[in-house]
Amino acid sequence: MVGSLGRNNEPVVLILTSLASGSKHGYALSKDIEDFAEVILGPGTLYGAIARLEERGLIERTSSEDRRQPYRITSSGREALAGAVREMRVLADEGARRLGLDELARGRTHRPTILGSPS
Amino acid sequence: MNRSRGFDRLLRWYPPQWRDRYGPEMVALLEDTFGSRRVPWRVRVSLMRNGSLERVRGVGWAGDIASSRDRMKAGSTLIVCCWSLFVVAGAIFAKFSEHWGVATPVVGRHLASVGYDAVQWSGEASVGIVVVAALLVVPTFARFLRGGGWSVIRHSVVRTTSFGLFMAAATTGLALWAHDLSSPQRNGGLAVYGAAFLLWGVGVVVLIGSSTATMVAATRPLTLPRRITRTEAGLAMALVLSMVIDAAGVVTWWVAEARYAPSALGGHGAGAFLGMPDVLPPALLVAGMLMVFGLVVAASGVLRVSRAFADQ
């Protein structure tokens, strides 16, 4: 899925992540992405990505009379984002394991568990 | 001035359909983001880049297109656009090399002739290919016009035709003027004529560009039958081959002249004025760059067409 959506800092992934918590219009999306990812998407980049996502049916417009058109994530969009997140997790876990960052690694790391001790 | 109209102007790089769909909300975003502040150059450049990219995508030269037939058509039109660069380069080459035979010693003529003849033959072949390709589209184009397609392409056709008529009048005027001038006056002796000729050359380049844009606008809405699309794609590939031969011919001629008659390359003044070596005259460098750029872009058209063939 990451292959189809791009890397985790790609605008399409950032937009889907932002819309996963509710519908937003362009300015709200831009501010939210700046807050959680510390990435500033320019208007051209933002709307280029919105158009691609809309073409692929991953987001859709909600009815609005305002020029500030809100978008929401579709079920296909949720599925695509979930796939991307899973792949990013696998990559993050593998990176953490190879770097020896045990506190970050999950899933594929095989740490012995001692019953009764804090993990 | 209305601030929204100022923001509207920033979106002029985007295609009209895009502006219809996303324009108002993008203007709202720009208003919310920048308010009465000046829009930074970084954002202006980004809008220019993204807008141009949307135009390229709109024609099908970039991005994903589901139908292999549409990809084939897009790749073919891209190749024809690259060929129009070769037309400009060919015109520059023809003007530059018009007296090469006189200046070249017999020992160097054979190799130069091989290159020059290759340019001529490939040029004629490419015109033939484009004419055949255009004729194949005529029935579908006629159906498109009967179905109300004229309104879609009217603006582009009227603009190109008007400019074409203007250029025809300018060409006649220039030819009549040239008729009354001596050969030295026509070849740099009369500055006013030289400037007029240069302006005419720019006009020809603009006309070629405008005609190409009209061709793209006219073929984009056409739904060609599968067989015709495949034939057009095959012709586009043949066109690329003729472009490669054309470029190879120019290089061969250039190398031969540089080796045996460098004075024929350096006798045009502009190179000396710019401090360029005799064997690298600016006119030929421009023609060469147009050809290289045309071939590089055409390669992406070839890739698009061949992938579409493979998908069928």
Taking CB atoms and an 8 Å cutoff, what residues of chain B touch A43?
26, 29-30, 33, 43, 46-47
Q: Please write the tens of the pLDDT for every residue from A54-105.
A: 999 999 999 877 888 999 999 999 999 999 999 999 988 888 889 888 776 6
C-alpha B119/C-alpha B141 separation (Å) is 32
Q: Please write the tens of the pLDDT for every residue from B124-136.
A: 999 999 999 999 9
Q: Please write the tens of the pLDDT for every residue from B213-269.
A: 999 889 888 889 999 999 999 999 999 999 999 999 999 999 988 888 887 776 555
C-alpha B138/C-alpha A99 separation (Å) is 65
Residues B192, B263, single domain; the answer is yes
CB nearest to B25's CB, from A42, A48, A67: A67
What's the pLDDT band for B270 if we cut at 50, 70, 90?
Answer: low
Residues B197, B84, single domain; the answer is yes
Top mean pLDDT of A111-115, B109-113, B267-271 is at B109-113
Which residue intervals of B35-105 are DSSP H helices?
A: 41-59, 68-96, 100-103
- Average pLDDT score over residue span B44-58: 90
Taking CB atoms and an 8 Å cutoff, what residues of chain A touch B34?
none
CB nearest to A43's CB, from B18, B26, B53: B26
pLDDT of residue A114: 44
The structural domain count of chain B equals: 2
Residues B19, B88, single domain; the answer is no
C-alpha B220/C-alpha B201 separation (Å) is 29
Structure tokens at B15: 């295609």
Interface residues of A toward B, Cβ cutoff 8 Å, are 25-27, 30, 42-48, 50-52, 66-69
DSSP B38: P
Which helix (DSSP H) or strand (DSSP E) does residue B294 occupy? helix B282-311
Q: How far is B311 from chain A (nearest CA, A)?
A: 19
Domain range enclosing B225? 67-311
pLDDT of residue A115: 41
CA-nearest residue to A67 within chain B is: B25
Nearest partner of A16 among A69, A65, A60, A64, judged by Cα: A60
- Number of alpha carbons in the 13 Å side-chain half-sphere of residue B63: 18
B7 touches chain A (CB under 8 A): no
Asked if residue B62 belongs to a domain, the reply is no
pLDDT of residue A2: 44
Residues B152, B296, single domain; the answer is yes
> Does pLDDT of A111 surpass 80?
no
Residues B134, B249, single domain; the answer is yes
Q: How many residues does chain A have?
A: 119
Asked if residue B268 belongs to a domain, the reply is yes
Domains of chain A with CATH codes: 2-99 (1.10.10.10)
Q: Please write the tens of the pLDDT for every residue from B154-176.
A: 999 999 999 999 999 999 999 99
Residues B129, B17, single domain; the answer is no
pLDDT of residue A7: 58
ipTM: 0.76
pLDDT of residue B240: 97
Q: What are phi and psi of B105, to 5 degrees?
A: -65, 155
- Average pLDDT score over residue span B284-310: 93
Nearest partner of B91 among B235, B17, B197, judged by Cα: B197
Taking CB atoms and an 8 Å cutoff, what residues of chain B touch A45?
46, 50
**Least confident window among A45-59, B47-61, B203-217:** B47-61
Instruction: Give the A:B interface size as CB pairs under 8 Å.
Output: 59
Long-range contacts of A63-70 (CB under 8 A, 24+ apart): A64/A25, A66/A25, A66/B28, A67/B24, A67/B25, A67/B27, A67/B28, A68/A25, A68/A26, A68/A27, A68/B25, A68/B28, A68/B29, A68/B32, A69/A25, A69/A26, A69/B24, A69/B25, A70/A23, A70/A24, A70/A25, A70/A28
Residues B119, B29, single domain; the answer is no
pLDDT of residue A110: 47
Residues B44, B71, single domain; the answer is no
Residues B9, B134, single domain; the answer is no
CB nearest to A27's CB, from B33, B46, B53: B33
C-alpha B170/C-alpha B102 separation (Å) is 30
Asked if residue B23 belongs to a domain, the reply is yes
The neighbouring-strand residues paired with B28 are: none
Residues B88, B218, single domain; the answer is yes
Q: Do A30 and B29 touch (CB under 8 A)?
A: yes
Asked if residue B57 belongs to a domain, the reply is no
Q: How far is A66 from chain B (nearest CA, A)?
A: 9
Q: DSSP readout, chain A?
A: -HHHH--TTSHHHHHHHHHTTS-B-HHHHHHHHHHHH-----HHHHHHHHHHHHHTTSEEEPP-SSSS--EEE-HHHHHHHHHHHHHHHHHHHHHHHHHT-TTT--TT--PPPPTTS--
- In angstroms, how far is CA A97 from the centroid of its own chain? 22
What's the pLDDT band for B62 if we cut at 50, 70, 90?
Answer: confident
Asked if residue B54 belongs to a domain, the reply is no
Q: How far is A42 from chain B (nearest CA, A)?
A: 6
Q: Do A69 and B54 touch (CB under 8 A)?
A: no
Residues B226, B292, single domain; the answer is yes
pLDDT of residue A109: 47
**pTM confidence score:** 0.72
Nearest partner of A48 among B149, B50, B223, B193, judged by Cα: B50
Q: Do B27 and A25 touch (CB under 8 A)?
A: no
Asked if residue B55 belongs to a domain, the reply is no
Task: Let me know: does B266 contact B272? Beta carbons within 8 Å.
Answer: yes
Selected residue with higher pLDDT from B183 and B22 = B22
Task: Let me know: does B12 contact A9? Beta carbons within 8 Å.
Answer: no
CB nearest to B28's CB, from A26, A42, A50: A26
Residues B172, B305, single domain; the answer is yes
Q: Do A47 and B51 touch (CB under 8 A)?
A: no
Q: DSSP readout, B223-254?
A: ---HHHHHHHHHHHHHHHHHHHHHHHHHHHHH
CB nearest to B46's CB, from A45, A50, A66: A45
Average pLDDT, chain B: 88
Q: Which of residues 20-39 of B touch A (CB under 8 A)?
A: 22, 24-30, 32-33
- Average pLDDT score over residue span B48-74: 83
Asked if residue B58 belongs to a domain, the reply is no
Q: Do B53 and A48 touch (CB under 8 A)?
A: yes
> Does pLDDT of A118 surpass 50?
no
Q: Please write the tens of the pLDDT for every residue from A4-36.
A: 665 555 899 999 999 999 999 999 999 999 999
B65 touches chain A (CB under 8 A): no
Give the mutation candidate from B12, B50, B55 for the A interface (greatest A CB count, under 10 A): B50
DSSP B189: I
Phi-psi bin for B182: left (phi > 0), alpha (psi -120 to 50), beta? beta
